[in-house]
Chains A and B, each alone.
Chain A
Amino acid sequence: MLHEGGMAVLMSVTRPGDDLPMLMKVPRLREGEDPAAIVSFEMEQMIMPRLSGPHVPRFIALGGFEAEPFIVMERIQGAPLSVRLRDLPLPAEEVAHIGAAVADALDALHHQHVVHLDVKPANILFREDGTAVLVDYGLAHHEQLPDLMAEEFRLPYGTTPYMAPEQALGIRNDPRSDIFSLGALMYQLATADLPFGEPQHLKGVKRRLWRDPVPPRRRRSNIPPWLQEAILRCLEVDPDARYPTAAQLAFDLRHPEEVSLTHRAGKMRRDGFLTVMRRRLRQRDPQHRAFATARQVQAAPILAVALDFGEMSEELAEALRNQMQKMLGSRPGARLACLNVLKSNLLSIDTTLDDQGRNRHVQRLVELRHWARPLGLPEARVTFHVLEGADAADAILGYARANRVDHLVLGARASSLQRRLLGSVSGKVAAEAPCSVTVVRRRGPE
């Protein structure tokens, strides 16, 4: 036996011929137990077999309620995030690192039609390679399964500090609720305080519908503005004001210098009485909205365009802009990363200065910005990155993987002769990319 909780008992189990460490979860079904605990276990039994990937424990087997119910799953070896709570506050870089890893896990989950709804330190584990794993799907919502937990209003121990305000209103199908919880968690990691305390009842949770938390930088003045920006954006009461997807949050946490700062970044005190009153009056009539979890996540993709200034004609530059305009136009939640690869030469000693002594890096950034200007994108929707690498395709592919890019766009080399001599970057990227790839080519002469 590993753990005996209020709802379930966890046991370490083995299977002959299988050396995967395994865990068996058995619900407590004593007389007088909360029936919600049983429903929650049924829900977990429905959801777990449907999940896959490194961010969830591998599902092994289950036994139904016709006999002794159980779930057997992979046992994650690493410690839960809750052990780190002893060391708070954590430095900003570490908060961002943990936040990005958890956001990756949430993104993977949201793409599988699931909203976790119970993101808290005890439910976050890490594999040896640092991959975050989310456990406990007893409170989760799967948009393709009946929601047995709807209207159960059970508040598991330790959940209220992280719960999104709309959850207190019974809304269970918005993936951005998980982004709120992650924001509350990062707030705690960065300040050592819970943003909304730990209310014991739903009524206390509802307060966060109108009362904003003390800005993190007021609690710890060494928290950088970009981190406060990211945390407070997660903690917005209106889900539309939060990051549209966990992938976009992870993106910001991995590129602090690219976070577009708003009033949130510099905020040093809580909202005034009038603002709070206005919010409170507005919240009397909460809106239940229909969501399609996975589709909503797909509506706010991370797009990346790779530009090769060395051989890009003005026509191709324009064609690439047109393509991006089309892809961004109908999706206000989408954001664009503009990439350029600075070839590093393995044989000679690299210098960041070119022949004229200009900083090549800066020059490329300037060119990227120049290309993007006609798109008229607000600062929050576009970022610029100069990658370095010996192989352009590898650099672009590495970037796409690390940043969970949903769609890559590149221009084709102008002539087939060049392609033959230099190889096709777009061909390699299209073949190996973890996402969709669009290659833009100007129509040749007839």
Chain B
Amino acid sequence: MRIAILADIHGNLEAFHACLEHAKARGAERIALLGDLVGYGADPEAVLELAIALVAAGAIAVLGNHDEAAIGAGAGGMNDMAAAAIAWTRPRLTPEHRRFLSGLPLTVEEEGCLFVHADASAPERWRYVADAEAARRSMEATHAHVTVCGHVHRPALYSLGETGKLTPFVPVGGAPVPLAHGRRWLAVLGAVGQPRDRNPAACYLMLETSPMQATWHRVPYDVAGAAAKIRAAGLPLGLAERLLLGR
């Protein structure tokens, strides 16, 4: 089974389309959406419509903190740009969009993997898994052989050996990494809609389940088009600029 796992789409329809097409061409049989469908980007409605259709067709989806903020009371803990984007997004959502988002679970366990938006030890707290210690906390809280999360916007892979040694690794785009039995793995996705590792190309993960193997793909998309839409929508200009820089 090949699962294409996409996180942090953030209302970026161009990047979402490009990744889905890339995954389809590489034989993806299933889609998993790991949260933050909205926020930052100029196309929350179209992204949600597409996500709803994918889930109706069997895709896995979990909730992200921006999704929660967009349907909840406020944007507590978010920076100004993120909060402004949520305030811009919220009135654009239809009741159906809200129903869809409010129905999303915090975690899904399938195909031997745990899917979650952020730290699996307390999914509702939206803590970043940005270093080895955070990865250890997330892994030690569950029994999953493979955990996949997003939220950080920078690809990473952590491996926990039987002796308790944790090995961090920054995956190389397009190079498959076998996730062997006998140790546990935490794969952090790069972002589809707002990469922050100085590479503006969209990022998603292709996971093969037997044997378990993970490939982070980098997909070029119409960054200029997505940025122009952000400017035209009156969203904070910094959100357009960071797409072009990948940070």
Once the chains bind, are A148 and B167 in contact (CB under 8 Å)?
yes
Provide the residues of chain A in CB contact with B178, threshold 8 Å.
45-46, 49
- A38 and B172 CA atoms in complex are apart in Å by 25
Output the least CB separation between B44 and chain A (Å). Answer: 36
Q: Judge whether B141 is part of the interface by a CB distance below 8 angstroms.
A: no
For window 51-67 of A, CB contacts with B under 8 Å fall at: 64-66
Once the chains bind, are B157 and A146 in contact (CB under 8 Å)?
yes
- A104 and B132 CA atoms in complex are apart in Å by 38
- A150 and B181 CA atoms in complex are apart in Å by 19
Q: Judge whether A144 is part of the interface by a CB distance below 8 angstroms.
A: yes
Which of B169, B175, B177, B182 is within 8 Å of A42, CB to CB? B182
Output the least CB separation between B129 and chain A (Å). Answer: 16
Q: Take A65-B180, A66-B182 as given contacts and tell me if A148 and B161 are in contact as well, using a CB distance cutoff of 8 Å.
A: yes
Once the chains bind, are B172 and A65 in contact (CB under 8 Å)?
no
Once the chains bind, are A35 and B163 in contact (CB under 8 Å)?
yes
Q: Judge whether A145 is part of the interface by a CB distance below 8 angstroms.
A: yes
- A1 and B177 CA atoms in complex are apart in Å by 32
Chain B facing A: main interface SS:
loop
Provide the residues of chain A in CB contact with B183, threshold 8 Å.
42, 148
For window 25-41 of B, CB contacts with A under 8 Å fall at: none
Provide the residues of chain A in CB contact with B171, threshold 8 Å.
144
Q: Take A35-B163, A39-B161, A64-B211 as given contacts and tell me if A144 and B181 are in contact as well, using a CB distance cutoff of 8 Å.
A: no
Which residues of B are interface residues toward A (Cβ below 8 A)?
157, 159, 161-163, 165, 167-169, 171-172, 175, 177-178, 180-183, 211
A-B residue pairs in contact (CB < 8 Å), sample of 26: A35-B163, A39-B165, A42-B180, A42-B182, A45-B178, A45-B180, A46-B177, A46-B180, A49-B178, A64-B181, A64-B211, A65-B180, A65-B181, A65-B182, A66-B181, A66-B182, A144-B175, A144-B177, A146-B168, A146-B177, A147-B169, A148-B159, A148-B161, A148-B167, A150-B167, A151-B165
Add 8 more A-B contacts to A35-B163, A64-B180 (CB < 8 A).
A42-B182, A45-B180, A65-B181, A65-B182, A145-B175, A146-B168, A148-B167, A150-B167
Which 8 pairs from chain A and chain B are nearest by CB?
A65-B182, A146-B169, A144-B175, A66-B181, A64-B181, A144-B172, A35-B163, A65-B181
